[in-house]
Structure 1
Amino acid sequence: MNLTVLSDAVHTVHRTWQLVLMQFAFIFITFFSFFLFVGIPIAIAFVLFGLDLTDIMRAREVSDIFSVFRGAGDALAKYIGVAIFVMFGLLLYFSFLVVLWVFMFGGAIGVLGEAIVNPQHRFSVKDFIAQGRRRFVPVFIYSNVAGLCFLFLAFLIGIIGDGAARIIELAQQQEATLAYFLAIFFRLVLLSVGLVLLLFPLSVTFYGFAAMTFHKTRPIATLKTTLHYLHERPGAFGFLGIVLLGYIGIGAIVMLIGAGFVVLPVVGALLSVPYQLVTQAAHAYVSMLMIAVLFHYYYKTEASSPDVLPAQPSDTSQQPADPQEPALQETAAPQSAEPETLSQRPQQ
């Protein structure tokens, strides 16, 4: 089944290859907008405050960096408005980044969902914009819910790690060998627990967006649907882990190839710029492929669970029933009226 899902996902991404181009454009927009909202105000602040960037680059310790900024304290008090302007530019940049990401991601998952359900569906800019506008608020709210799950699990891992450190300290007071054994044991336990707990919020995030796309539910209903799906299909955790390992492996290969250009003295510097473009394009393609694989897996496994899909409060499962029944009725008895056909169907 995994190979089938991967093959279907590749075909879906190839049919909607414009989504990869949109992702590639998003990367460039975020890069250049950083210089527009943050880089230019920081450059102006450096000139007004009399800061020397070369001194900061030559600093080898944190105290050296503080000494550079300490001399600009008087100028900071004088040009406090410029400092506020820089902070405002940074805040504006992050706000723009969040809004653009939510819109682009909402449009991407909407188009992917339509392409998975309907193999004849093709990409269009009008449909992409409509999907992004329709899913902007649900994606934004559900992203915050998933972020809270990450924070809660990080807090839980921190508590477990602090308890393990206390136990190791008590063991060190008794015997060094026992403390060494407990240190290795708890590190392995924390690593295993951390990896397992990391899969949970990631599963809630990715499969939740899939549920939101196919069922068209609200964020809270999406969370309930996703938790029920993960409870019924625990193999989804393992599938997500395999997909993440593949994603990390491809990224590592790309980084190793890029590291080879650094070794070359002159040719490497010339080839590094086009290679970065190829790397960003590959990153956009692999990211879209990973989302398509997870969406196909959710669609296939959820569709094969008859006790889950009909229970969803989705309008999409009820609307197609009305236009399909008259078509079947007209085929079965084209000369009879519609109420008579509906009354005769149970008798047949």
Structure 2
Amino acid sequence: MTRPRSELVSPDETPYYHCICRCVRRAYLFGEDQLTGQNYNHRKQWVLDRLRQLQSVFTIDLCAYAVMANHYHLVVHVDTQEAMALDETAVVSRWRKLFRLPVLVERYVVGTSDSDAEQEAAKGIIAQWRERLADLSWYMRCLNEHIARKANLEDECTGRFWEGRFHSQAILDDAGLLTCMTYVDLNPLRAGIVKLPEASADVSLHQRLQQYKANSSSTSAPEKTAPQPNLLPFVRDIKEDKRKGIPFALGDYLAMVDWVGRAHREEQQGCIHSDVPPLLDRMGLDADKFLTAVKPHQLSHGTVIGHTSARIAYAQLHHRRCVIGPVIST
């Protein structure tokens, strides 16, 4: 049974979400159409540029992304507290980057409202905008509509560019976040596009490695690259560091991606379990189940990602007998 978006996306329960959106009618988001010879690689930059713009408006952070030929993946962090802390001036300043302000709000901002009723109405509109700045549905709407309009204009056609709004999965815990990010960063490898995880320039892992090399090299001048969206940093100890970030170390994550990438290139997964990264043990994840979850077309099934205990608690909270999601622990 289809569930309402308000139930699938609830930042009060978890701020992390995995979003997937696919094209229709053989539409291309990236790559080359073998039938016509048309190259669509430039459209990837459309997505990255729009994500970068939306980061200056919404209080939604980007953890990971993958732009594929006919779909894309996002792992996002919805920061409701940041949105609620914004004053009216900041909210209006952000909102006007995407939309034209109504006259009522323009008059309120410049202080020319004629009555208290006008002021209260304007305040109500601004309060609604503040809530939308942390609304995943509005974020995805502003991303997908923008890309669809540009693609239809280029293709000289009308109609749908995306299959639907978007598919979302609630990431219930740190283990689910680790699993989902690994799945997203390994998409080109699993699709056979590249032979090494770091070889793909279409995922957030490549961007993180580029930034790491640039920060580590003090002698050579940084390479000029196209603008990219900001990624939520890895923070090993959030309680001590006090920064907003992904709750494990970058080095541990890279070791995990490398291990999973090697496992996917082996026919028998059991032969490398002696080299299981310690991050799996700390997260309480079962190696076999983890490898199964991040196989092609496995993790994107269902509406939640997390430990079995977290899935049971989520189901009880929503008065459901069970919830569907990948099995990543015993």
- Shorter-chain TM-score bucket reads under 0.3
Calculate the TM-score normalised by the size of structure 1.
Answer: 0.21
Larger strand proportion of the pair = 2
Q: Choose 1 or 2 for highest CA Rg.
A: 1
Calculate the TM-score normalised by the size of structure 2.
Answer: 0.22
Larger helix proportion of the pair = 1
